[in-house]
Each structure stands twice: as C-alpha cells, then as structure tokens.
Structure 1
C-alpha cells in the first residue's frame, strides 16, 4: 500500500513538472510563427509609411487637398461622358453599301498611267460614260454631289437608266459633276475626277451619293473631309496613294470649273439636270416619267422623226 502511494506521488510530480515547463516548438510551428511575425511587421511598416505621407484610407487634414484635387479631375473627365451618354449610346458611324459591281466604267486599266490613259488636269467624258457610242438615246447628266435632289435622282437613274436601259444597247449615259453650291461641291467633284483617273468614277459616284449631307463633323470645314474621302476611296477600290496625290494637288479643280461653266452655257441653272437627246429635263424625274420620255424619244428616232 505504501509502495503504490509512493508510485502515484512520483507520477503526479512528473506530470506537474511537464505541465509547468514550456513545450518545445516544432519546426513547422516555429516557421509559421516567424512568417506571421514578419507579415505583421511588414504590415505595420507599410501603414506607418502610408500614414506618414498623408494618404490613408480616410482623408486627414494633410491629405484633404489631394482628395479634393482628385475628385475635381474625375468630375472634369466624367461630366462630358455623362452628358454624351445620358440619352443613350450615340448612333454608329454611317454605313455605305458597296458600289454595284455591274456598272463599271467602259475604260479599263489596272494601273492607269498619266499621258497614256489620261491627261492630268483634263479628262474626257469617256470615263464617265456608260453604253454604246452609237446608241439611239444619249442622256447627259449634270449633277452636284452636295445637292440633296441629286441624291434623290441618283436612285432613279441607277435603277431605271443604268440597270434597265444601258445594257440593252439603246441608251448611252454620260455623267458630269458640277460645283454650283460651295466648297463641298467642289471637293466632291474633284474627288470624283481623281477616281476617274483610275477608271472608278462610277464606283465613287455611287458612294458620294450615299453620304448623309447633314452629317458634318464638329469643327470640320467640310462634310467631304479628308477622312471621309479616304474611306470612300478605299471602298471604291482605289489606289489610295495615287488618289491622295491627285486630290491634294488640286489638279482637277480647274476641270470642275470648266464643266460647271460649260453647263451654264448650255442653259443648266440647277441640278439635277438632264439632256435627253438635247431635250432639257430639270429636277427629279420619277421612273414612270423617265420611261415615258425615253420611249417617246426612241420611237421618234426609229420612225425617222415622223
């Protein structure tokens, strides 16, 4: 009995010593405590640096001017966007239908050369004409690309004359751009003649008549600005470098003025204006009237003028 009591007392003493002495940390526990201690020290150091510079999460008296300056910059940059988009997103850029592939110029050249395919500054109307030269009906058009009525007439001319009559061999159609209105008229007409150098007059003509004449960009001097003309030239399949050189040289400004003066001498006072076998027709003519006039002229010529 005494021996058992003594053994129990020894065990209790050993247990008391183990509980009173600190436990030896394992290697993994020591690494975790070291990492945690280092992270806490880095956090405290970063907080002291940030707060010493006055850029805490909450503005202090020292950092308040910086907060106010940043807020004013955000308002200055954000207000225009708010005013622009408060009514919804802006309309997408104007889209253009590709030029009709079934109305190419009569003359063809992959790389037109000055002095061979054309004379710089003067262009014969051959490159602006479609149809047989011996056709019984000749229609000569005087048009202004800055004229809304000419845009309206273009759809009728394209769908009635160019697509229905020219392929039959009964009609030859010649287009002449004039500048009766202002600088926009002159720029567009000159661009069309530059396209004629590359035998793409009809392609650029179709695109110019698609331009929204009320879409003048802010601060731009012309609707037919350089960016728009370059875009149309690209859609028309023009060689852009040659087109730009031609346009900026203004080599066809004099030719546009010459065509405009000639049209005045012929009695053209407004656009669109058509000469149908020397018969003057001014303004937009609907398809029915056009067909009636063309049929009457054709029948008159076939009957020998009787």
Structure 2
C-alpha cells in the first residue's frame, strides 16, 4: 500500500526520531518472533522518560467515552496501539500479551489502552477496521476485537457476511444498524483519521505502539511492555508525564 498521498503529522523533531525507531524495528511485526524475549532487545530502557517524546505523548486522546479504549481516561500510562485485523502478529499480541496487560495494569488503574485502526493489508483490512468501529458504536468493540483475533479467524477472511457473523458473535444487538454504520461515512472518516495518524508517525507495519510517547514496534514479549509501562508509571509519578491527569479537561 502506498502512503505517498498521506499528509505527515507536524509534531516536531521528536516525530522524525520516533519514525526512525519504528522503521528500524518494524521487521519484528512481520518477521520471526524475537529470539531473546527481553526488553533490551527492543531498545526499551527501564530509566523513566528514556526514549519518550512529548509530541508523541500528546497523541493519547484520553476521551472518557471512547469505545475503542480500555481503562481510566486519567490513567498515568497510555498505550496507543496501531494494528490491523489481518496482521498475524497483531493477533498474537491480542491473544498472548494484551490480556495479561489488562489484568496486570488496566484493571488496577495504571494503564489505558487506546486502539487505532491501521489497515495496511488491503480491502479486507479496511472492511474489518470499519466493522470494528461499527461494533464500537454499540459498545462491543473489544468483543469484536476478540472474535476477529481468535485463533484461525483471519484465515476465514473479512467479507461482509463474515463481518456480520463476527458482530453477532461479539454480541452486537442491532445488526441492521451495524451494517449501516459499517458502510457509512462515519466509519470511513474514523478509520482514515487513525490511519493518517499512523502514517504520519512513519509507522510501516503492525502492530506499532506508543507508551506515554515511547515508540515500540512489533509484537514484542510481555517483558518489553512491562518494562516500558513501569518506566512510564515512574516518570508520571515524578511529574515527567505531560498527558496524565488531563482527561478532566476534555
């Protein structure tokens, strides 16, 4: 997919550095699983504030009623996730790592996860992204997310009837509305907004993440995310985080 027509975000010099980091590490999203399983292998430091960029931290939306987010809007740490439902490594992260992060950090109020639709694998990816957004309009985004990322799900494709089936499995009650939302302009604009944000950051593969402004590329091991979240939590506690606690203003 060409991104030549995308308008890059103008966020300052930090974005250029982050784009370089994401580009250098992007092979981890589509290549073999990392062999070391360590945070160090992904370039993540335990030092608070290391490798973070204030411009990128501001991309956390912290909208209290965002149906594509999990966790408190004023959580000290926000992980923005750019992903594609046809991406095998995104599915691996969704099944193997994300539930553990939710249990360890989201449930106790430390972490908020904000999803960004970043379809890069063609029409099926675009359709699945719009369907996920449509499910979110009825409060069932994360249930749709789980169904779409279930083992073997992406191999069945994301044709219209399949998306409706996934919505039904996710507990979407009004399937007629789901169909209208899926094909509507609202879904297209929401997906485009997320997609443009990711391209503007220089992201070239999925999954890609920002943890309080710290870029992480690929379905890294649990230890990588733990290290990043703990460092971000410590930095926020020291007053280094610029975004935490601002949700009340929105």
Give the paired residue count: 177
How far apart are residue 303 of structure 1 and its match?
3.3
Q: d(CA) in 2 for partners of 1:139 and 1:214?
A: 24
Q: Which has the larger radius of gyration?
A: 1
Is this contact kept in 2: 1:136–1:301, CA < 8 A?
yes
1:174 to 103, 114, 131: 114
Aligned residue in 2 for 1:148:
88
Aligned residue in 1 for 2:237:
302
The question of 1:158 aligning with 2:92 is answered: no
TM-score by length of 2: 0.65
* Structure 1 residues 230 and 281, CA gap change in structure 2 (3 angstroms): same
Aligned residue in 2 for 1:225:
159
Long gaps (5+) in structure 2? 1-62, 241-250
Aligned residue in 1 for 2:202:
267
Q: d(CA) in 1 for partners of 2:155 and 2:76?
A: 41
Aligned residue in 2 for 1:235:
169
How far apart are residue 285 of structure 1 and its match?
1.3
Q: CA RMSD in A?
A: 2.1
Q: d(CA) in 1 for partners of 2:230 and 2:238?
A: 12
TM-score by length of 1: 0.54
Is this contact kept in 2: 1:125–1:174, CA < 8 A?
no
Is this contact kept in 1: 2:64–2:72, CA < 8 A?
no
Correspondences of 1:89-128 after superposition (within 5 Å): 126-128=66-68
Correspondences of 1:11-22 after superposition (within 5 Å): none
Is this contact kept in 1: 2:117–2:194, CA < 8 A?
yes
Is this contact kept in 2: 1:140–1:276, CA < 8 A?
yes
Correspondences of 1:59-74 after superposition (within 5 Å): none
Greater RCO (CA < 8 Å, at least 6 residues apart):
2
1:282 to 194, 217, 223: 217
Superimposed CA distance per residue, residues 126-145 of structure 1 (whole angstroms, 9 cap, x where no aligned partner): 11111112211111111100
Aligned residue in 2 for 1:207:
147
Is this contact kept in 2: 1:137–1:277, CA < 8 A?
yes
If each structure's helix is expressed as a fraction of its own residues, which one has the higher value? 1
